[in-house]
Structure 1
């Protein structure tokens, strides 16, 4: 006869465990930690998609049109920018003199000689404009010497009003400096939300043995419009364009207010900044998104104060720059003060290794300093390539089409994400969509306390390096923990 332990409650059919006796606690397992990490990734991806999604959608739509704006600009401003022929019958000195008649009270900022059938652009500083990044520009036909019109130009990218408007919309929603917080939030979250999404999709595919880059037979056979079908399309498209999202995030952060300043400080500490010549030591690296060069005196004033020295003409400066190995189109900037030189810099153009620069003596027209892009530090080269790629200049129309495609994909992914959220709602009662189960961080902390502590330290670092990302991420996590604690207290 088998002896029954009276201290142990009977279990099995007809015998329920004694509710007064606590169940034995089992230590968290590796599977528990993996499940908690998976749930945390899904939760953060969900919060980011839900609350950052609207800003991502705005950036995607505005970015789509901004990506194509260089080509659109050529059509809209064709009469202003295009010369009557490819001949150069009028020298630059006379073209500048003609432009002075358009803006007699303004000081010369720079000259962009017309090449390949384009008009010469003569730029002037105007203190009444919004900032020093904006200049008045007169378009001179190098074949006839006539003025074809005047406009306002923005930055070293030579953006005219339409492209400038699209740039301001994409960058800060025409809200001034406060509006830059929106674009920094987008740039800060685009990479993390992509990486979280990739992890979720990879983990799901790894466990099912399916490929990340294509839909499975079950996905294709899912009812069209169902949540399963929408999720599959959302994830596969996001996987295909993930590299583009990461690139846009990295380059966008360089122009941001807070994270961009930290990146600049880091580059300066590591001596990765863009080198400058003595004549351009005060020029900013990101002229399209910062202050442009201001000239308090014109080159003619330099010549007048130089006594017996005769000033070199603009044609001499241009010829010397070409002789030094620079390639048109070149921007020629007069001296900013006594004893300084003209600077000649290759403008941002497609299929170019990078901009070379030269300093030219304003009296003799001789090149006194030369700066090759090949001598830039690797970080400075990557920054230049990234900026040109983000602006659609690196590979011409192909670059612009690729950017527009990535922007369209981002908009579609955001919309599908919201569609998935909406499809999670209960089918009856008309309730709002449900959210993934909270408390993943608490479960992960129980399963992997050291890893959780390390992640918390990482988030604190993010708050310093990328403030908007770190603060919003911490807010999401704390909000999730609060919901979990409230639900636990109620049950």
Structure 2
């Protein structure tokens, strides 16, 4: 995956291999030129975020942990009351962490009158306030948002998605440029020849490291795209619509007189709930409503008891925001204290806030094969599936990708002509055999529409503005 010049090839003429090579090199150059700054951001933020549990434990240890005690914990309702008394009068509770770990503090999230949310940490045994953290502005949340959208919202998300898609082109064309055309040699192809000097040694490191890291790069792209702003959102909607996640338990339909009160909740999705981590497979599913609004609403401690009887001990509990809302208990990988992900325990439980009935119960076993595969990919992508080894592997791939971007830039800088971009020479008469590569790229453009539009723009620019330089 190189941005600078490979070994010299003959100019256009009768050599089909030469023209194919130069066309691929040109696309590789443009892909690298666009991807390089975004790839550096993705690599750095990814390498940091994968160690989120350790970093947050280091930064906020006094808030996240307490001395384990044999005495009973205070009721969650009482803990929420303590927090409410310390916050502005209009602050409203939105979620609470429930943990079976005796050394874990209790986190209560409140929405403030300003619209922001704050996490308040308490000692579950004494009710002592341990500290507060902004939900939106805490360090690792910012790192994640930079990784996803550069803190630019939807447009930033689209840019990062484009960068990920163009990395597919960079990897594919890079492998094609690396592919041996004559006799295969381990030295120079799988192992670098470190006796080289100058730009040649940078090229060798880039070439060899690129082929080794290409598998990891492809995995990162394909496992990260389901979370992307455009393609990922639509892919998730299609998978959900196709019945990817079927509820194990569904309550009866509500009485007709309750329908009007539920209209304001009918379009709420799981990803709209005030939960730090929502399983991808259920993110686009509709949040059900409570059906028995004539009864007295349950308190939070009654709901925790119901969830415990259903086998849930550690989870985040989203509180109903409206009279027709439900309590939602959700366990997902990466929820703060989970360094190792137990996918089989992933679960979403919706509880009627009046009757306590289970409205919907979704488990990992209920997901279809696509959702299971994406869930596994996400856990591996975020370093959560097999503990520290998974984190170290992800960080190593991220840093290797950063090295690819740096070596590519150095090679380009060393060979760039004065007052010129230094793009490979354009091929005036592409050989018929290049059609196969055009088909591959067209297929990618169809699968990833944002990428397809950008490829058309690049092709038009290359055709209209650089034709005379061929």
Which is worse superposed, 258-267 or 161-170? Answer: 258-267
Q: Which of 393, 417, 434 is matched with 1:402 structurally?
A: 393
1:341 Cα deviation (Å)? 3.8
Closer/same/farther in 2, CA of residues 242 and 275 from structure 1, 3 Å limit: farther
1:409 Cα deviation (Å)? 1.0
Q: Which of 316, 327, 331 is matched with 1:346 structurally?
A: 331
8 Å CA contact 1:109–1:333 kept in 2: the answer is: yes
SS at match of 1:122: strand
1:410 Cα deviation (Å)? 1.1
Matches within 5 A, 1:292-331: 306-307=294-295, 309=296, 311-326=297-312, 328-331=313-316
**Where does residue 161 of structure 1 map in the other structure?**
138
Matches within 5 A, 1:20-169: 32=16, 34-87=17-70, 88-103=72-87, 104-116=89-101, 117-126=103-112, 128-129=114-115, 135-154=117-136, 161-169=138-146
**Where does residue 348 of structure 2 map in the other structure?**
357
Closer/same/farther in 2, CA of residues 79 and 213 from structure 1, 3 Å limit: farther
Higher-RCO chain (CA-CA 8 Å, sequence separation at least 6) = 2
**Where does residue 25 of structure 1 map in the other structure?**
none
CA-to-aligned-CA distance 1:178-204 (integer Å, 9 cap, x gap): 322331222222222112212221x2x
SS at match of 2:270: coil
**Where does residue 438 of structure 1 map in the other structure?**
426
**Where does residue 233 of structure 1 map in the other structure?**
205
SS at match of 2:202: helix
Closer/same/farther in 2, CA of residues 398 and 276 from structure 1, 3 Å limit: farther
SS at match of 1:136: strand
RMSD over equivalenced CA pairs, Å: 3.7
Q: Which of 186, 207, 221 is matched with 2:163 structurally?
A: 186
- Structure 1: gaps spanning 5 or more residues: 1-27, 155-159, 294-298
CA-to-aligned-CA distance 1:239-298 (integer Å, 9 cap, x gap): 2222221122123322333322442354256443686976998333486699x99xxxxx
SS at match of 1:207: coil
1:375 Cα deviation (Å)? 1.1
Q: CA–CA distance in 2 between the matches of 1:433 and 1:315?
A: 65
8 Å CA contact 1:344–1:358 kept in 2: the answer is: yes
1:42 Cα deviation (Å)? 1.5
Scaled by the length of structure 2, the TM-score of the pair is 0.78
Q: CA–CA distance in 1 between the matches of 2:423 and 2:212?
A: 26
8 Å CA contact 1:213–1:239 kept in 2: the answer is: no
Closer/same/farther in 2, CA of residues 212 and 59 from structure 1, 3 Å limit: farther
Q: Which of 179, 185, 189 is matched with 1:210 structurally?
A: 185
CA-to-aligned-CA distance 1:397-423 (integer Å, 9 cap, x gap): 333322222221111111111222233
CA-to-aligned-CA distance 1:207-248 (integer Å, 9 cap, x gap): 2312499645xx525423x33322221122222222221122
Closer/same/farther in 2, CA of residues 193 and 473 from structure 1, 3 Å limit: same
Matches within 5 A, 1:452-471: 452=435, 459=441, 462-463=444-445, 465-471=447-453
**Where does residue 287 of structure 2 map in the other structure?**
none
Q: CA–CA distance in 2 between the matches of 1:397 and 1:127?
A: 40
CA-to-aligned-CA distance 1:336-392 (integer Å, 9 cap, x gap): 544654222214232311511223344554545432211111111222233333334
Q: Which of 254, 263, 270 is matched with 2:235 structurally?
A: 263
SS at match of 2:378: helix
Q: CA–CA distance in 1 between the matches of 2:123 and 2:90?
A: 22
Closer/same/farther in 2, CA of residues 457 and 74 from structure 1, 3 Å limit: same
Q: Which of 335, 348, 360 is matched with 2:320 structurally?
A: 335
SS at match of 1:360: strand
Scaled by the length of structure 1, the TM-score of the pair is 0.75
